[in-house]
């Protein structure tokens, strides 16, 4: 049996921070070399961060991303590295001033590096153009398959949605000899996504008789959270190794490949399929790696999946942690009302940042109950956060006096309720401006989806932590 030691670098890049992302990649390469791996795979768009969006319209950014790749190549001694970045076909007359939406020269690419040299590139074929992604705006689809032969094992390379597409890319790679499929991905989290994704990967493995290795990005980027959950599956779809959720990690496993593949299509069918794609296939062979052939076997880690509620909570914590860090904020401020929504937001913030970086702001009005005040006091005491108390009563009364000539004898209604929310929003933003705190808003999905919120009031802030969490 042939054996490859494969590492999946479940890393947390930052969109646009090319130098920082390169430092991360080089650090993981060093860890992979210490583990004596044959191959290390990095996530989709690891160099640029994901999603880079309109940064791709800036020629200097695309050029710097290619330069960043050149920094990584010399460090990849003694191993194969598959690194996600933005590829550019310079032979197709790139624009001098801007790439332009849908420019023909850009590809969502995987760099294939072996023993400190660039062998070639694989270009993503199934561009994602739904949900939060708009890849067809920036990239052209690839047309060619890529196979690597490493220590006698044939490896097919794919990117993210290539596994799901109707083109049958995995089937085609298996038909021309792929024994292992490496898929590098940047797949954002939603509830139940990790289980659905792993079921799909297992189906692709068993349908095609191949080992599937899948590396996913981890981390928060604006409104997206990438959950990790990288995994290696055997030909039957069984789990050989699994990374944790919402944490950076190097997932390492010794992957055994049988000499005679099982579960493949009949040979006659295979030849017919292979004959249709031979002209669109790039083959690369890594003849020798500068790595010790004798190494003790390792026991791979299979991290157990976490249940739904914990998964959602950890996604929220990572989202807050990374948004604050990646946007350069030192502290956050939260308007505390004594209700469930602001309490949950505060708990998430403390778990993400620590109590010393969270400021609670209580803004009582003439209608605030003693129970609300007591609940805020109890919450602050349990969390150990600072509390600022700013009464809105004088401001509210002043507004009411100013509006009285216009309102006349009209009855008090939601107008006055919304006025209180807007005063609170103004004062919270003043705290933000003065101290540099990021205001975390506390509206939930159920309320926001039906417009049960106050424009310029409780919607005012920099990051809506629970906007995708229903009240129910």
Q: What confidence category does residue 89 fall into, taking pLDDT thresholds of 50, 70 and 90?
A: confident
Q: What's the average model confidence in pLDDT over 58-64?
A: 96
- Position 335 pLDDT exceeds 70: yes
Domains and CATH numbers, the chain: 2-286 (3.60.110.10), 329-464 (3.40.50.620)
Q: What confidence category does residue 129 fall into, taking pLDDT thresholds of 50, 70 and 90?
A: confident
- Position 275 pLDDT exceeds 50: no
Q: Over 397-412, what HEC string results?
A: HHHHHHHHHHHCCCCC
Q: Which residues are catalytic?
A: 44, 124, 160
Compute the C-alpha angle 369/372/376, nearest 5°: 145
Q: What is the DSSP letter of 437?
A: P
CA pair distance 117, 120, nearest whole angstrom: 9
Report residue 166: phi and psi, to 5°.
Answer: -80, -5
CA pair distance 59, 90, nearest whole angstrom: 12
Q: What confidence category does residue 289 fall into, taking pLDDT thresholds of 50, 70 and 90?
A: low
Q: What confidence category does residue 265 fall into, taking pLDDT thresholds of 50, 70 and 90?
A: very low
Per the omega criterion (within 30 degrees of 0), is the bond before 51 cis? yes
Q: What's the average model confidence in pLDDT over 324-348?
A: 97
Predicted confidence at residue 104, as pLDDT, reads 52
- Position 179 pLDDT exceeds 90: yes
Q: What are the residues facing 181 on neighbouring strands?
A: 156, 212
Q: What's the average model confidence in pLDDT over 157-181?
A: 89
Q: What confidence category does residue 294 fall into, taking pLDDT thresholds of 50, 70 and 90?
A: confident
Instruction: Tell me if 386 sits within 8 A of 359, measured CB to CB.
Output: yes
Q: What's the average model confidence in pLDDT over 264-277?
A: 46
Residues 6+ apart with CB under 8 A from 371: 338
- Position 192 pLDDT exceeds 90: yes
Q: What does the mean pLDDT of the chain come to? A: 91
Provide, rounded to the nearest whole percent, the portion of the chain with pLDDT above 90. Answer: 83
Least confident among 25-39, 208-222, 281-295: 281-295
Least confident among 92-96, 224-228, 431-435: 92-96
- Position 291 pLDDT exceeds 70: no
Predicted confidence at residue 293, as pLDDT, reads 58
**pTM for this predicted structure:** 0.91
Taking CA atoms, 329 is separated from 45, 128, 353, 356, in Å, by: 25, 32, 11, 13
Q: What confidence category does residue 155 fall into, taking pLDDT thresholds of 50, 70 and 90?
A: very high
Predicted confidence at residue 295, as pLDDT, reads 85
- Position 194 pLDDT exceeds 90: yes
Provide, rounded to the nearest whole percent, the portion of the chain with pLDDT above 70. Answer: 91
Q: What confidence category does residue 96 fall into, taking pLDDT thresholds of 50, 70 and 90?
A: very low
Q: What confidence category does residue 117 fall into, taking pLDDT thresholds of 50, 70 and 90?
A: very high
Least confident among 12-16, 50-54, 96-100, 178-182: 96-100
- Position 45 pLDDT exceeds 80: yes
- Structure confidence by residue, pLDDT tens digits, 212-235: 999 999 999 999 999 999 999 999
Q: What's the average model confidence in pLDDT over 37-61?
A: 97
Compute the C-alpha angle 211/216/221, nearest 5°: 170
- Structure confidence by residue, pLDDT tens digits, 361-418: 999 999 999 999 999 999 999 999 999 999 999 999 999 999 999 999 999 999 999 9
- Position 327 pLDDT exceeds 90: yes
Q: What's the average model confidence in pLDDT over 258-268?
A: 49
Q: Which of 161-165, 200-204, 268-272, 319-323 has the highest mean pLDDT?
A: 319-323
β-pairing verdict for 106-114 and 281-286 = unpaired
103 or 433, which is more confident?
433
Q: Can you read off the two tokens belonging to residue 435?
A: 């101290």
Predicted confidence at residue 97, as pLDDT, reads 39
């Amino acid at each position: 049996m042939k054996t490859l030691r494969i590492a999946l670098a479940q890393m947390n890049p930052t969109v646009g921070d090319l130098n920082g992302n390169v430092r991360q990649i080089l650090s993981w390469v060093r860890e992979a070399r210490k583990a004596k791996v044959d191959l290390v795979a990095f996530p989709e768009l690891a160099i640029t961060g994901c999603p880079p969006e309109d940064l791709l319209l800036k020629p200097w950014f695309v050029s710097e991303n290619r330069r960043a790749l050149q920094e990584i190549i010399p460090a990849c001694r003694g191993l194969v590295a598959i690194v996600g970045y933005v590829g550019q076909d310079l032979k197709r007359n790139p624009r001098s001033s801007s790439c332009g939406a849908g420019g023909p020269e850009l590809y969502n690419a995987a760099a294939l590096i072996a023993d400190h040299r660039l062998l070639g590139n694989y270009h993503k074929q199934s561009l994602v153009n739904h949900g939060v992604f708009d890849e067809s705006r920036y990239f052209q689809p690839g047309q060619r398959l890529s196979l690597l032969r490493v220590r006698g094992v044939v490896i097919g390379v794919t990117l993210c949605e290539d596994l799901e597409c109707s083109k049958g890319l995995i089937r085609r790679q298996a038909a021309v000899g792929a024994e292992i499929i490496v898929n590098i991905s940047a797949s954002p989290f939603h509830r139940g996504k990790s289980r659905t994704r792993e079921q799909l990967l297992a189906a692709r493995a068993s349908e095609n008789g191949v080992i599937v290795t899948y590396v996913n990005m981890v981390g928060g980027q604006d409104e997206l959270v990438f959950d990790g959950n990288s995994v290696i599956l055997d030909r039957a779809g069984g789990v050989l190794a699994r990374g944790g959720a919402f944490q950076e990690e190097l997932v390492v496993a010794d992957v055994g490949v049988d000499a005679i593949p099982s579960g493949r299509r009949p040979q006659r069918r295979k030849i017919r399929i292979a004959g249709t794609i031979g002209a669109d296939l790039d083959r690369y062979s890594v003849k020798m790696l500068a790595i010790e052939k004798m190494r003790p076997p390792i026991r791979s880690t299979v991290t157990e999946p976490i249940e739904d509620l914990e998964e959602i909570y950890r996604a929220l914590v990572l989202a807050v942690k990374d948004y604050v860090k990646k946007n350069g904020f030192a502290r956050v401020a939260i308007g505390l009302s004594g209700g469930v929504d602001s309490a949950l937001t505060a708990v998430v913030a403390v778990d993400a940042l620590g109590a010393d970086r969270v400021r609670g702001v209580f803004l009582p009005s003439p209608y605030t109950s003693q129970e609300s005040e007591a609940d805020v006091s109890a919450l602050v005491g349990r969390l150990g956060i600072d509390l600022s108390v700013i009464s809105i009563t004088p401001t509210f009364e002043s507004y009411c006096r100013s509006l009285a000539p216009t309102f006349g004898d009209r009855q008090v209604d939601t107008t006055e309720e919304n006025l209180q929310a807007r005063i609170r929003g103004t004062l919270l933003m003043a705290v933000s401006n003065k101290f540099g705190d990021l205001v975390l808003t506390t509206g939930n999905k159920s309320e926001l989806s039906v417009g049960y919120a106050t424009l310029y009031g409780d919607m005012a802030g920099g990051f809506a932590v629970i906007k995708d969490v229903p009240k129910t």
